[in-house]
Chain A
Amino acid sequence: MQPQTLFWILLALAVYGYYLGRKRALTVSGGNIRRLHSLPDYYGYYVALWCALPALAILSLWLLLDDKIILQWVLAELPPTYRNLPPDRLSLTVNVIENLLAGERQASTVDPALAEAAEHYRQLKHLGYQALTVLVLAGATAALTWAQRRITPGLRARNRVEAVIRIALIASSVLAILTTIGIVLSVLFEALRFFEMVSPLEFFFGLHWSPQIAIRADQVGASGSFGFIPLLTGTLLITAIAMAVAAPLGLLSAIYLSEFAKRRTRAIVKPLLEVLAGVPTVVYGFFAALVVAPWLRDLGARLGLSISSESALAAGLVMGIMIIPFVSSLTDDALTAVPRSLREGAYGLGATQAETITGVLLPAALPGIVSGLLLAVSRAIGETMIVVMAAGMAAKLTLNPLESVTTITVQIVALLVGDQEFDSPKTLAAFALGLTLFVITLLLNLVALHVIRKYREQYE
């Protein structure tokens, strides 16, 4: 029997358990459900959970482990010539067996001992499944009967079911947290390995970034240099340009939408603005590279400025357009959420619309506005595609928006593209950059939280 079939049968059993439990609860209540501790549904869930959960646990444990256990078993029965092989050779043997099982090799082309092992493996697996099926189904049925028997009017079925739900909720959040911790730790350890090869001093204060590693020892420029400052300035420069576009445009359009626009205009304009954030960044990228950058270069030529065809300005401008909705949407929501009574209070005192907006509404909406700005900054810092296409890959240490620069994320991509050794400083540098990026955004969040807490004008 296929594991899927088994799963569906279990599910059907659980549904059956639900009805049995419900029915049983109604029977023991003597037709008066007020004598029951919980509503009849909960007795149904109670039986269903007992029926399904332990059986599912056995099923998944088996599916996780059976291949490994059976493989050990089969290997132990191979002739000693195989059993005494060193580990790397042994794994080759395992490969052969696996290929046989997958039907990618014919049994006639290999050592008969191995063919026999594969056959044995297949038999064991089949037997295992049969045992599993019997075990799971018998277990589920037994649990169902047992749980159903336990139903009395006093059984606190609701509390039991709620406990299971609570555990499921906790497990989900723990899983999310553990994943995050896992990612951070793995990045951290790889970054530490990097810092064993390149001193942190050079990384954090070095002014030169060229991570090429020599292929031959006698090559010119044999060692790469890993000064991260040009990447930081590049990132900050592009982010600053993007925010210089997005912050005023986003704020002003939010103010227009929430305070001036008629309801119908707002219903049309707001979704349109939000579409900006949904356009794939690669589209923005080639828009920046093929339209904005040449246009800027021509404009510069006419004004007597030399603007390189890949410039921080082009990337920043386009990125700014892209992140407008983060600012405008959140600001608009925050402004709309300011209670009507505050608006009326200000107008009632003879405040003009401008005075009401600047003196009452914007301060009251500050937390929302700050989080909008922050979200926009994080998007700008993390954006890769537009920069690759419009600002280039050259790590120049400059604050001139007319030159080409590169950013942290772009370099991470550059470091990991192509064939890499996993322990060269070039590859590991990506982890150090990732860690730095993570710390930067974390700090940004902390600063913003502090700002919000300090300056928030809280209404109720």
Chain B
Amino acid sequence: MSTVITERHTTPDPESDGHRTVGDYTLAEPRITCRHVNVFYGDKQALFDINLDIGQREVIALIGPSGCGKSTFLRCLNRMNDIIEGCRVEGDIRLDDQDIYAKEMDPVLLRARVGMVFQKPNPFPKSIYDNVAYGPRIHGLAGNRTELDEIVETSLKRAGLWKEVKDRLDHPATGLSGGQQQRLCIARTIAVNPEVVLMDEPCSALDPIATATIEQLIDELRSRYTIVIVTHSMQQAARVSQRTAYFHMGRLIEVGKTTEIFTNPRHPLTEDYITGRFG
């Protein structure tokens, strides 16, 4: 009896861990492949040997208790961890079979291909128009003002915000409601025409109605972009994603079709989380 308890309370050594992700993490035609990804903040390891493929035009949800490393993993995919002092990423992450941590890879260009939407809406303190135009401007995507206008309009339309703001494009973005701000941030992200969009709990600061709008938007965006979404709401994961990955204490525990994970979790930890025993 006592030996069992001691075993449960020892922190597992990552090297001799022997942990295996439950479910098939590979895909036939992946857009992103991650192999043996370890992430450290200083001496502290936050992710342990993550293996995961992310497909074309799918929405994959990352779920798990807070502090389990979902955001950390997300930020590996566009090298946002580079700007955190003391953060180190090991392993192999490929986007369309290009090593994104290779020397030749410019993180600036990578981030134009892998866009990111954050937990708290973070519009720049500029006009609505300038927010959306910011990305296209720095990447030189528009040759002239008409083209830029067009990009702004299509992006806002895709983000489902055009009707609400078309008469006040020159107003400050900070005057919008929280939900509108978050859709503006999505418009800003897709204005640079990325291949992948990373979303880190995009609805956690929003009310239910704004959340529903964004969830619908995510579903529509799936036809053009690969979307990786972190969420703490299991209903949301069930509603918007095709595949789900469950993280626990820096490890990827289980991955599979969303319907299967939610109806028939195979790992006890996943089951505990999904049935609401902790999280």
Contact size range, B: 20 to 34
Say whether, besides A262-B85, A344-B80, A349 and B138 are in contact (CB < 8 Å). Answer: yes
User: Shortest Cβ distance from B246 into chain A, in angstroms?
Assistant: 25
Contacting residues of chain B (97-141) with chain A, CB-CB under 8 angstroms: 108-112, 115-116, 118, 120, 122-126, 134-135, 138-139
Residue contact A344 to B122, C-beta cutoff 8 Å: yes
Residues of A within 8 A of B188 (CB): 345, 349
- Digitize B158-172: 1 where CB-to-A-CB distance is under 8 Å, 0 elsewhere: 000000000000001
User: Shortest Cβ distance from A348 into chain B, in angstroms?
Assistant: 4
User: Shortest Cβ distance from B234 into chain A, in angstroms?
Assistant: 26
Residues of A within 8 A of B185 (CB): 345
Chain B CB within 8 A of A420 CB: no
Q: Interface SS of chain A: helix, strand, loop or mixed?
A: helix
Chain A CB within 8 A of B28 CB: no
Looking at A291-299, A351-359, A405-413, the stretch in contact with chain B turns out to be A351-359
Residue contact B138 to A355, C-beta cutoff 8 Å: yes
Looking at A146-154, A383-391, A452-460, the stretch in contact with chain B turns out to be A452-460
Residue contact B120 to A341, C-beta cutoff 8 Å: yes
User: Shortest Cβ distance from A262 into chain B, in angstroms?
Assistant: 7
Contacting residues of chain B (133-189) with chain A, CB-CB under 8 angstroms: 134-135, 138-139, 172, 174, 185, 188-189
Chain A CB within 8 A of B78 CB: yes
- Digitize A372-413: 1 where CB-to-B-CB distance is under 8 Å, 0 elsewhere: 000000000000000000000000000000000000000000
Chain A CB within 8 A of B209 CB: no
- CA A456 to CA B125, docked complex, whole Å: 9
Residue contact A345 to B118, C-beta cutoff 8 Å: yes
Q: Given B125, B138, B189, which contacts A348 in the complex, CB threshold below 8 Å?
A: B189
Contact size range, A: 20 to 34
Say whether, besides A350-B108, A359-B134, A359-B138, A344 and B118 are in contact (CB < 8 Å). Answer: yes
Residue contact A348 to B111, C-beta cutoff 8 Å: yes
19 pairs across A/B with beta carbons < 8 Å? A339-B122, A342-B122, A343-B83, A344-B80, A344-B116, A346-B134, A348-B116, A348-B189, A349-B112, A349-B138, A349-B188, A349-B192, A350-B108, A350-B111, A350-B112, A352-B138, A364-B125, A457-B125, A458-B172
Chain B CB within 8 A of A161 CB: no
Residue contact A457 to B85, C-beta cutoff 8 Å: no
From A352, which residue of chain B is reached at the shortest CB distance? B108
Residue contact B111 to A347, C-beta cutoff 8 Å: yes
- CA A344 to CA B109, docked complex, whole Å: 15
From B121, which residue of chain A is reached at the shortest CB distance? A341
Chain B CB within 8 A of A139 CB: no
Residue contact A351 to B122, C-beta cutoff 8 Å: no
Q: Which of A262, A263, A349 has the most CB of B within 10 A?
A: A349
Q: Which of B110, B122, B135, B192 has the most CB of A within 10 A?
A: B122
Residues of A within 8 A of B110 (CB): 350
Chain B CB within 8 A of A211 CB: no
